[in-house]
Amino acid sequence: MAPWRARPGWGLGGAAVLLAAALVLAGRRHGFGVPDYAQFVVDGLQAGAIYALVALGFVVVYRVTGVINFAQGAFVMLGPMLTITFLGASTTVSAPRLAASALAAVAATGALGVVVYRLALHPARGALLLTKIMITVGVYLVLQGTALLAWGPRPYVLPAFATLEMRDRSVLVGDVLIRAQSLWIWGTTAACLALLALFFERTLTGKAMRACAVNRLAAQLAGIRVDTMATLAFGLAAVLGAVAGIVVGPVTRPTFDMGLEVGLKGFVAAIMGGLVRFQGAIAGALILGVLETLWAGVTLAGFKDLFAFVVLVVLLLARPHGFAGAEAEAERP
């Protein structure tokens, strides 16, 4: 294998840098200066942190079960929606109450992830890949439709964590505005990453899950309950999705159909990083977030959402055999 093949990160990184340069050049047309770009990067890193959490959910499920869970976006939507429901209609929100609601929402979504796996995917574990893909698509339709029934089409408001009100606090660093919620988002993502690292490195269950990812048959022969690990992976992915949705809730006004967009962007991030690597997914997510925000700044407003999908199609075409490559083939007997 040629040496440059072994390091796909370089090619992708180079392409990202070139694209960023092109977007910055395009921005000169609008007369953007350094502070504008700094602001784009900060906003992009905020979006990227969310995509990272979603992408990790894809990676965990894919590594353990070999399935890409199209319903992942629905978990992202359920997080804030359930939090708002658990908060109730009270006008003043106390911090413990918000925390308890958020935790309950995360737990409920995690449980739902487990239920989804046991009811919809476990019975189909012997089926064709095509069937599994369509089953997760069906699950997404059910969850989004149920959300529409339960919460209606209107956008909701989740109070900012720092102020417990709609208006958030923010600081100016130079000319760059940093919202308190951005700090919450970065902090939560970092905490989740640390916990995930601890889980996979230090706990027996985490190691068992990694074993399933490397070789399912061998893991089974070693006495690991592969089914249980797959169930856990779905639960974990749902939890990550719900956390992502909740921390971004105060910024984006959650709606019943927000899951599609966030879910797909998380997937793009996961695929940018190779689909099986956690670090890759995080790097991909941050790059995607920044590039997307730059793109949104320099093009038509309505084309904001186009970027991730164009990147997706181009990326997939550039590497037609998939990003998991040799690593994934070795993993999947």
Partner 1 sequence: MRDTRGRSRGLVAAAAVVVALGWLEAARPWGLSLPRLTGGLVHLDLLIRAGIFTIVLVGLNLLMGYAGQVSLGQAAFYGMGAFFSAILTVRAPVLGIPPTVASTWWWPWLLMAVGTVLVGGFAYAIGLVILRLRGHYLAMATLGLGIVVYIVLRENLGLPHLNLTGGFDGVFGIPRLRVGPWMVWPAARYYFLVWAVALGAVALGLNLIDSRVGRALRAIHGAEGAAECLGIAAHRYKAQVFALSAGLASLAGSLYAHFQAAVVPATFGFVPSLELVVMSAVGGMTSIWGAPAGAMAVLLMSEVLRTRIRHVIPGVAGEIEAVVFGLLLVGVLLFWPSGLVGRRAGNATALPPAGRRAAEGAAP
- Any idea which residue has 């399933």 for tokens? 212
Residue 102, classed as helix, strand or coil, is helix
Residue 106 DSSP symbol? H
DSSP letters, 126-185, are: TS-HHHHHHHHHHHHHHHHHHHHHHH-SS------TTTSSSSPPEEEETTEEEEHHHHHH
Tokens of 213: 């990812």
Q: How many residues bind partner 1 (CB under 8 A)?
A: 50
Closer of 99 and 129 to partner 1 (Cβ): 129
Please provide residue 171's backbone torsions phi and psi, each rounded to the nearest 5 degrees. Answer: -120, 150
Which residues inside 39-98 make contact with partner 1, applying CB under 8 A? 66-68, 70
Task: Judge whether 135 and 124 are in contact, CB under 8 Å.
Answer: yes
At closest approach, how far in Å is the CB of 16 from partner 1?
18
At closest approach, how far in Å is the CB of 226 from partner 1?
16
At closest approach, how far in Å is the CB of 302 from partner 1?
4
At closest approach, how far in Å is the CB of 7 from partner 1?
20
Which residues inside 118-177 make contact with partner 1, applying CB under 8 A? 120, 123-124, 126-131, 133-135, 137-146, 148-149
Task: Judge whether 231 and 94 are in contact, CB under 8 Å.
Answer: no
For residues 237 to 276, the per-residue mask of contacts with partner 1, x marking binding by CB under 8 A and - elsewhere, is -----------------------x---x--x---x-----
Report how far apart, in Å, the C-alpha atoms of 151 and of each of 144, 223, 256, 257, 261 are: 10, 44, 7, 11, 19
Asked if residue 332 binds partner 1 (CB under 8 A), the reply is: yes
Tokens of 82: 């359930």
Q: Which residue, 98, 65, 73, is CA-closest to 231? A: 65
At closest approach, how far in Å is the CB of 143 from partner 1?
8
Which residues inside 311-330 make contact with partner 1, applying CB under 8 A? 312-313, 316-317, 320-322, 324, 328-329
- Distance of alpha carbon 102 from alpha carbon 84, whole angstroms: 8
Closer of 114 and 328 to partner 1 (Cβ): 328
Asked if residue 195 binds partner 1 (CB under 8 A), the reply is: no
Closer of 45 and 331 to partner 1 (Cβ): 331
For residues 285 to 304, the per-residue mask of contacts with partner 1, x marking binding by CB under 8 A and - elsewhere, is ---------------x-xx-
Closer of 15 and 100 to partner 1 (Cβ): 15
Task: Judge whether 289 and 78 are in contact, CB under 8 Å.
Answer: no
Task: Judge whether 54 and 266 are in contact, CB under 8 Å.
Answer: yes
Closer of 42 and 142 to partner 1 (Cβ): 142
The residues binding partner 1 (CB under 8 A) are 66-68, 70, 120, 123-124, 126-131, 133-135, 137-146, 148-149, 260, 264, 267, 271, 300, 302-303, 305-306, 309-310, 312-313, 316-317, 320-322, 324, 328-329, 332
